[in-house]
Amino acid sequence: MGNGSERRETAWSGQAGARAFAAVEAATDWLLGYPFVFEALSRRMAGGPVADAVLVDYGCGPGQVAGQAARRLGVRVLGVDSSPEMLALARRTGTAVAEYHLVERGRVGCLPDGCADAAMCNHVLASLPTEEAVGAVLAEIRRLLRPAAPLVLLTTDPACGGVEYASLRVAGAQAPYRPGEEMTVRLRRTDGSWQEVRNHAWPVDVLPALLERAGFRDVVLHRPTVTEALDVADAELVRSRLWTGERARPPLVVTSAVAA
């Protein structure tokens, strides 16, 4: 998932990259990430989501999360991504209540201003090397949202290096990562092997300012725990592992805000 930055293209470009991304297990994300993104969206949408509500999934990748959001929230999802190969995979495997559009030169040209009632953006910031790049992505999301519509971001805390998570490893650092600094992340595949990906660090404490500069307000940061997941995540997934690392130091941050 991402905006088409050079680092994203290196990691997930072309058909092989799209297939590799679709083969990432993402167990930790499905425990402590995506279910809480859906919960935050539902809570932030005035009166809860309605049948004709439109949700933008910015950086939708091969569409698994977009499909789950459509089913769980009962909304129409517009998945957008800069990778034609990711979108082709999403269209082949995605749900009928989601549609997919290409991001070109940082803009979803076929979608008008204020067309969406909500947006989510999962693990996209990690592909962006500069504050300018982050700001451009957030500004495009803001363009697509109507006023007071919510945005929910899912990010990995760069400070969680050295902890062994079920499907994630963040490389440790002698000192805290600086905003945009390169960091190495290992992701577990469905076959049990691991894929190494070069990402960019965006420390949790810089997120509110980045959002506010892009035209968002009422920023709230939430670090979901395994205890909370007992009531939110899939019960079979919760029972499937001990989640030792996730219990010791939850690695994911769900950040919500509304369009000013």
pLDDT of residue 8: 38
| Residue 18: per-residue pLDDT | 66
Q: Is the pLDDT of residue 7 over 60?
A: no
Q: Are 176 and 157 in contact (CB under 8 A)?
A: no
Cα 221 to Cα 198: distance, rounded to the nearest angstrom: 25
Distance of alpha carbon 32 from the chain centroid: 12
Express each pLDDT in 122-164 by its tens digit: 999 999 999 999 999 999 999 999 999 999 999 999 999 999 9
Sheet containing 54-58, strands listed edge to edge, beginning at the edge strand earlier in sequence:
98-102, 76-81, 54-58, 118-122, 150-156, 252-259, 216-222
Residue 238 neighbours by CB under 8 Å, 6+ apart: 31, 226, 229, 230
C-alpha span between 100 and 84 (Å, rounded):
10
Compute φ and ψ for 104, nearest 5 degrees. Answer: -125, 125
Burial 175-185 (b: 16+ CB within 10 A, else e): eebebbbebeb
What is the reported pLDDT for 1? 44
**Pairwise CA distance, residues 82 & 175, whole Å:** 33
Give the pLDDT score at 20.
72
Q: What percent of the chain has pLDDT over 70?
A: 88
Angle at 77 between CA 89 and CA 95, to 5 degrees: 50
Q: What pLDDT score was predicted for residue 86?
A: 87
Torsion of Cα atoms, 107 then 109 then 112 then 117, to 10°: -50
With CA atoms as reference, report the closest residue to 3 among 188, 133, 94: 133
Tens of pLDDT, residues 77-116: 999 999 898 898 888 876 666 889 999 999 999 999 999 9
Residue 12 pLDDT exceeds 60: no
Contact between residue 67 and residue 37 where contact means Cβ atoms under 8 Å apart: no
Residue 2 has pLDDT above 70, yes or no: no
Of 9-13, 140-144, 148-152, 175-179, give the lowest mean pLDDT range.
Answer: 9-13
Chain segment 41-85, per-residue pLDDT in tens: 999 886 656 668 999 999 998 888 999 999 899 899 999 999 898
Phi, psi of 60 (to 5 degrees): -75, -15
pLDDT tops 70 at residue 190: yes
Dihedral angle sign, alpha carbons of residues 19, 21, 24, 30: negative
User: Which pLDDT tens digit goes with each residue over 19-36?
Assistant: 777 788 999 999 999 999
How much is the pLDDT for 215? 98
**pLDDT value, residue 183:** 92
Q: Facing residues of 258 across strands?
A: 150, 217
Give the closest residue to 93 by CA, choosing from 143, 33, 22, 155. 22
Distance (Å, whole) CA 222 – CA 128: 22
